[in-house]
Structure 1
Amino acid sequence: MARWSELGHDPAGIEFFETPGAFEIPLHAQRLARTGRFAAVVAAGLVVDGGIYRHEFVASAVIDGLMRVQLDTDVPVFSAVLTPHHFHEHLDHDAFFTAHFDKKGQEVANACSATLAGLAAIG
């Protein structure tokens, strides 16, 4: 949010929504995009290998779904969905991925700002 503000945007315009899991992110993104209330949608999540299924399939489905949402709705959709091969709930991994999410958030803010400006210029 700090980076969004640094780029000249009002963070008060940001709304947060939660999903029960990563697989549900594209559907929520689609519903949000179709409301017409949002200039862009940013999806954030953590797809971990839980041993039940190959997390690559879930990660691919999420990213493919997000791409489809933006192409179908003409609303930009940005991904900060992380897909680590190894994640364990302990302090070292928590700290690492918290820092990584912060970095990805800044990257998404940059991309979102530039994309919205570019699309506005196109008209």
Structure 2
Amino acid sequence: MSGTGAPGATRIDGSGLRVGVVAASWHDQVMGGLLDGALRALSEAGVNDPVVVRVPGSFELPVVAARLARSGLDAVVALGTVVRGGTPHFDYVCQAATAGLTEVSVQTGVPIGFGLLTCDTAEQALDRAGLPGSHEDRGYESTQAALRTALTLRDLAGVLPPGGGHRVIPVTG
């Protein structure tokens, strides 16, 4: 199973963080589970009033994630589902969305929770959507990753030496 080796669950205190969630609209049932998981993770972490934006599909995730990242948010969670079909369309959408979300994060310095499911079958997507009977909850997990990274970046701002130098920074949480 792909979820093997995930870090253990620890409580995240995200109070004070400003977070946006951008979610594609294709595959209603899967997207409902992903979005529910993301909102549950935010609520448990004490993140109030997240900005939630729906877009047509996964291809549109990067452009809206970029706008959210540049708006002053501390983290953005991108949720989408692409299920393989009989044409190369799957490969193009997955590659474009993945590269676009990576570029947004690197260019803006804002962590992007990667909740884009790229599955061979609809059953695989349902199994990762955090629905009753699912083995994984990628909406929840990708949101926790974005929150942890946002907190790490906030902590780094207070410990990085000015002008360079070396300092060991322990991994937390």
Q: TM-score range by the shorter chain?
A: 0.7 to 0.9
Corresponding residue to 2:100 among 43, 65, 76: 65
2:50 is equivalent to residue 22 of structure 1: no
How high is the TM-score relative to the length of structure 2? 0.59
Give the total of aligned pairs. 113
Partner in structure 2 of residue 34 of structure 1: 70
State how far apart, in whole Å, the 1-side matches of 2:152 and 2:114 are: 18
1:69-84 pair list within 5 angstroms: 69-84=104-119
Name the stretch that deviates more: 109-118 or 27-36. 109-118
Identity %: 33
Offset from partner CA, 1:84-114 (integer Å, 9 cap, x none) = 1122xxxxx3xx6445222112212321222
Give distance in 2, aligned partners of 1:20 and 1:53.
19
Using the TM superposition, give the Cα deviation of residue 117 of structure 1 relative to its aligned residue in structure 2, in angstroms: 1.6
Unaligned runs of 5+ in 2: 1-38, 131-136, 158-173
Deviates more, 1:73-82 or 1:44-53: 44-53
Are positions 1:4 and 2:30 aligned together?
no
Gaps of 5+ in 1: 88-92
1:4–1:99 Cα change, 3 Å: farther
Matches within 5 A, 1:35-50: 35-36=71-72, 38-50=73-85
Name the one with the larger helix percent: 1
Q: Residue 58 of structure 1: CA displacement? A: 1.1
Structure number with the bigger relative contact order (C-alpha 8 A, sep ≥ 6) is: 1
Aligned to 1:114: 148
Contact 2:83 2:125 survives alignment (8 Å): no
- Larger-gyration structure (1/2): 2
Task: Determine if contact 1:32/1:41 at 8 Å carries over to the other structure.
Answer: yes
RMSD value, Cα: 1.8
